[in-house]
Amino acid sequence: MLGLTLKHIKKVYPNGFEAVKKLSLEVRAGEFVSFVGPSGCGKSTTLRMIAGLEEISHGELYIGDKKANALSPRERGIAMVFQSYALFPHMTVAANIGFGLKIQKVPVAERKKKIEWALDLLDLDGLGDRKPAQLSGGQRQRVALGRALVLDPDVLLLDEPLSNLDAKLRIKMRLELKRIHKELNATIIYVTHDQAEAMTLSDRIAILKDGDLMQCGTPTEIYNNPANEFVAGFVGSPPMNFISGQLNSDKENMTFVSEYGTFIFDHVLQTKVQEKGISGPITLGVRPEDITISTQKADNAFQGMSIVTETLGSDDYVSVLPRGVKRGELLTVRIKPEMNFPLDKEVWMEPKTEKIHVFS
Ligand code: ATP
C-alpha cells in the first residue's frame, strides 16, 4: 500500500469551468480518507483525476514517491469501485471477481486462490457460482469490492459505493468496510455526500465546497473545531445551531445581542473573539447537545418559545423560536425524553460557553 500526495491540483473542464481549485492533500499509506461536500463540489472529479480517468489541468499527483500525472490508469496501481457496481450480468460471482486478474493473465491457480480469498474476506462463501441477478444489493456491492481488492491495488478509490443500498444495509456495509480496511490496512479514498458515513469510517475527512478544500482533519477535529461556518453546518445531525447577532464591547463587558435576547460573553468567549479579532455582526454556533433548556428563568441565557418536539426514542429534539416571532431561525436543543418537555412555553437556554463557536 502506498500513500498519495496532491499538490495544488486543479481541474478546468474544456468549457472553462474550474471544478477543483488548487487542492493540496497528503494521504498516508493505510489511511482511510473521505471526500465529502454538497453535490457538485468536485469530489468525483478529484477521484477521477487520481484514478487517471480525468486529466489533471495543473498541479502534481504523486502515488508513493512517483509522479503520476502522465501515467495511464493501469500504470497507477489504483482500483476504483463505482456507485453502480458495474458487474457483468452473464458472469458468475467468481468470474466477476477474477475478471481483472484474467485480463492481467494471472495463472488460473493463482486466480482461484485470490478469488477464494476475496469470497472469504467479503463473507460471500458459497456464492461464487451465482450470477449477480441472484444476489442482494449488499452482496453485489461486495462482489464489486472483491473485484477491486484482488488486484492488490496500492490505493483503493470508492465513489459513493453504498448509495444504492437501503438505509439498513448501508449501515451494515459501513461496518463491513471498516472491518476490511482494518484487516487489509488499505489506503482508501472514499467519496460520499453522507457525512455520517464519513464520520464513522474515516481516519480523516476532507470537506470540499465549490472545488475548494474547506478543512481536512479527523472526525473529532472536524466536529469539535470546525474551521468555518460551512464545515460547522455540514457535519453533525441535527446540524449545529447558528445565531446571528451583534457583538458590542465596552471596557467592562462584551455582549451579544440577537433575536434570542442579550447574552453576556464570559472570559472564555471574550478570549475566543479576541483571538479571532472579530467584532460587529457575528454568528455563534452551538450544537443541540451543548445547550440546556428550562422553563425556569436563567440569568445569562438565550430566550424563546418551545414550539415543536421531535422524538427519536433515545433523545428528543426541542425546537425554539425567538419570542414574538411566527417564523424564523429555530434553535434545536437535545434533551432526554424523560424530561417530557412542555411546548408553547417561554424557555431559557444556557449554552456551554466552552462549546460555543464564533464565526465572523
Ligand atoms: P455529486 O455529489 O453530485 O456527484 P461531485 O462533488 O462529485 O458531485 P463533480 O462530479 O466532481 O461533483 O463535479 C464538480 C463540478 O464540475 C460540477 O459543477 C459539475 O457540473 C462540473 N462538471 C463535471 N463534469 C464536467 C464536464 N465534463 N464539463 C464541465 N463541467 C463538469
Reported as a single tens digit per residue, the pLDDT across 260-316 is: 999 999 999 999 999 988 888 999 999 999 999 999 999 999 999 999 999 989 999
Q: Whose CA is nearest to atom 28 of ligand 1?
A: 13
Grid coordinates given for 255: 455582549
**Distance of CA 95 from the midpoint of ligand 1 (Å):** 33
Grid coordinates given for 81: 469501485
> To 10 degrees, what angle do helices 167-184 and 108-121 make?
120
> Using a 6 Å cutoff on CB, does residue 76 contact ligand 1?
no
Q: 311: Cβ–Cβ under 8 A, 6 or more apart, which residues?
A: 337
Q: What is the maximal distance between C-alpha atoms in the chain?
A: 81
Place of cell 460547522: 232
What is the SS3 assignment for 138? helix
- For residue 350, list its beta bridge partners: 292
Ligand 1, residues 12, 36, 44, 50: which to mutate, most atoms within 8 A of Cβ?
44
| pLDDT score, position 304 | 95
**Distance of CA 234 from the midpoint of ligand 1 (Å):** 19
**Distance of CA 304 from the midpoint of ligand 1 (Å):** 42
CB of 104 closer than 8 Å to CB of 83: no
Ligand 1, residues 9, 17, 190: which to mutate, most atoms within 8 A of Cβ?
17
| pLDDT score, position 328 | 77
Locate the ligand 1 atom nearest the alpha carbon of residue 47 and give its number: 11
84: nearest Cα among 158, 15, 19: 158
* CA separation for the pair 104, 342 (Å, rounded): 67
Ligand 1, residues 41, 163, 190: which to mutate, most atoms within 8 A of Cβ?
41
| pLDDT score, position 172 | 82
* CA separation for the pair 260, 262 (Å, rounded): 7
| pLDDT score, position 250 | 81
Grid coordinates given for 355: 462549546
State yes or no: ipTM above 0.85: yes
**Distance of CA 36 from the midpoint of ligand 1 (Å):** 13
* CA separation for the pair 107, 100 (Å, rounded): 12
Residue 138 burial (CB count, 10 A): 18
| pLDDT score, position 127 | 95
* pLDDT, tens digit only, all 360 positions of the chain: 899 999 999 999 999 999 999 999 999 999 999 999 999 999 999 999 999 999 999 999 999 999 999 999 889 999 998 877 789 999 999 999 999 999 999 999 999 999 999 998 888 999 999 999 999 888 898 899 899 989 888 899 999 888 877 888 788 888 888 988 998 888 999 999 888 899 999 999 999 999 999 999 999 999 999 999 999 999 998 999 999 999 998 877 899 999 999 999 999 999 999 998 888 899 999 999 999 999 999 999 999 999 999 998 999 999 999 987 777 789 999 999 998 899 999 999 999 999 999 998
Place of cell 477521477: 48
> Using a 6 Å cutoff on CB, does residue 207 contact ligand 1?
no
Grid coordinates given for 323: 419570542
> Can you point out the beta strands (E) in the chain?
4-12, 18-27, 32-36, 58-63, 66-67, 78-81, 155-159, 188-191, 204-209, 212-217, 241-249, 254-258, 261-264, 280-286, 291-294, 302-311, 316-321, 331-335, 346-351, 357-359
> Using a 6 Å cutoff on CB, does residue 17 contact ligand 1?
yes
Please report, for residues 297, 298, 303, the alpha-carbon distance to residue 342 in angstroms, rounded to integers and kept in the order given: 15, 17, 15
Q: Which amino acid, residue 37?
A: G
> Using a 6 Å cutoff on CB, does residue 237 contact ligand 1?
no
80-94: per-residue pLDDT in tens? 988 777 899 999 999
End-to-end CA distance of the chain: 42
Report the alpha-carbon angle 203-351-250, nearest 5.
115
Q: Whose CA is nearest to atom 17 of ligand 1?
A: 40
| pLDDT score, position 352 | 95
Q: Whose CA is nearest to atom 20 of ligand 1?
A: 40
Please report, for residues 227, 252, 323, the alpha-carbon distance to residue 273 in angstroms, rounded to integers and kept in the order given: 14, 15, 27
Grid coordinates given for 37: 461536500
